[in-house]
Structures are given as C-alpha cells and as structure tokens.
Amino acid sequence: MRILIAVLILISVTHCTSERVKPAVDASIKVAELPSQESWNSIITFSDSGKIKAIMNAGHLRVFDESKETLLDENLKIDFYDENEIKTTTLTSIRGRVDDRTNNLWAIDSVVAKSDSVTLITDELMWRNEDKKIVSDRFVRIITPKEKIEGYGFESDQTLRNYVIYRITFVTSNEEP
C-alpha cells in the first residue's frame, strides 16, 4: 500500500512539473487594430440635463481606443430632437464614423436626412458636435414641397430649416404653374 501511494505521489509531482503546451498565437493580428468594444443592434440615447438630444441605432458598432474612433456599420439611423424633445430630423446611412475626441459624426454611403418638409440626399456628410451643424463638400440634392436644388457643398442646422448650398448646379420648382 505504501508503495502504491509513493508511486501515485511521484506520478502527480512529475506530471505537475512537466513542461506545459502553449497555444499557438497568430502574430499577424495587431492588437491596436482590434476594437476595445463591439456591439450589435445597438441603441444609444444621447441626452443633456435629462433631455433627449438624439437616439442612434446601429447594426454593428466598434470602438477603437487607440485611434479614438467609433465605426458604425449595417444601417445607421439617428433621430435628432429639439429642446422640447420633439423629433426634428432623421438621418440614415449605410455606415458612419465618430471621432471620439470631438464627437463629430460622419454619415457615409446613401445618406438621407429628413425633416418635416426637407429631404437631403448625398453620399457623405458630417454632423459637427460643437455647433450642431450638418456639412458636406459632396454633391447634394435638397427636395422640398416647393423645389428641388442640386449642387456641391452644403451647410445647415440639424433641423434642415436654415441651409445653404454653395455651388448650385440645378434648381426646379415642384409647384404647378
């Protein structure tokens, strides 16, 4: 019996001190290129002093701490609200990007911004956080009940009530003569 116990102790000590097998590590993956956070079907509510300012829906959200940016994929949608928490504008695009240092948002690919009477269509725009303006240097199309305007370069408040198109290329009236 003593010999059996001694053999078992010897086997367990030898087994515990043997060299362990290390798992293979893929050295081609750079940690800085991996997101620090990742989420699917995200809904994020932005508020100030308890009042809703915007609600963002993103199919896929990735936060990168190294580059201080958040990438938004799979059908981005943002509803903007006024000081009375009434929805004023809805912005949709296929994807987007947020600069986490400034909180500026870029909507990219098939961008549509709609308010109660104005529709903006473009390939890319930026919502500037500091002054709450929507800007683009790309081709834009504005459609209202009264007219359709196309051009290059755009700036507006986030409600699309006060806008400027810098290089107008086309204007037509939607009203009956």
**Residue 44 included in any domain:** yes
- 13 part of a folded domain: no
Q: Are 35 and 42 within 8 A, CB to CB?
A: no
Find how far residue 93's CA is from the centre of its chain.
10
Supply the pTM of this predicted model.
0.78
Please count the structural domains in the chain.
Answer: 1
Alpha carbon of residue 134 to chain centroid:
15
CA distances from 174 to 24, 103, 147, 166 (A): 65, 37, 5, 21
pLDDT tens track for 118-168: 999 999 999 998 998 999 999 999 999 999 999 999 999 989 999 999 999
Whether the Cβ atoms of residue 70 and residue 98 lie closer than 8 Å to each other: yes
CATH number at residue 116: 2.60.450.10
For residue 123, being part of any structural domain is answered with yes
Residue 7 located in a structural domain: no
pLDDT for 11 beyond 70: no
Q: Which domain holds residue 162?
A: 34-173
Instruction: Judge whether 126 lies within some domain.
Output: yes
Within a domain: 23: no
